[in-house]
Homo-oligomer: A and B are copies of this chain.
């Protein structure tokens, strides 16, 4: 399936758009490809775009003062990624985004998204629901952190995203779960 079709099918789940409307909004996206390990957003830089993953896998992450990495999000195909704090508030990035594997994305600027949301009520509806879902998912993750032990969280993660088990090295899974790779390895 072509990237255009992937986006169209994705939008159709939450928004009703005519073909003309879709063609119009699609003209605001640009296709980009990256190699494994390439960096897309670097801490400290300004952020202008968000990325819709077509193929491959991204991670967004931060490095703390002790040089420990924490992964905020993996982004598999049909997921969106950016530093939303920086993007929405037009401030410098506080997180990084890079490629876990060779990746193809569709990219749209913050300004274009806002313009399109203003022009197309249905698109504003789509983006409201995308954020609603992200908000609820992040709250759930916070609750899981506080309420469940690591083993439980690991099993929960693998149940929700079985594809991660083979795609993503264990040290990255550990960085997502917020434990050391040694502890993850000892789980069972």
Contacts and interface: CB of A to CB of B under 8 A. Distances in A.
A63 to B, nearest CB: 9
Interface stretch (A1-9, A100-108, A133-141): A133-141
Interface string A66-101: 001010100000000000110011000011000000
B178 A146 contact: yes
Contact of A70 (B85, B118, B143): B143
A147 B95 CA distance: 12
Contacts of A132: 84, 88, 131
A70 B147 contact: yes
Interface of A is mostly: helix
Interface in A134-158: 134-136, 138-143, 145-148
Contact of A139 (B65, B72, B89, B140): B72
Nearest to A148: B64
Nearest to A126: B128
Given A65-B147, A124-B125, A124-B128, 10 more contacts: A62-B146, A72-B143, A84-B132, A84-B139, A85-B136, A85-B139, A89-B136, A94-B143, A118-B125, A135-B135
Contacts of A65: 147
A140 B64 contact: no
Interface string A114-134: 000110010011011001111
Contacts of A135: 84, 131, 134-135, 138
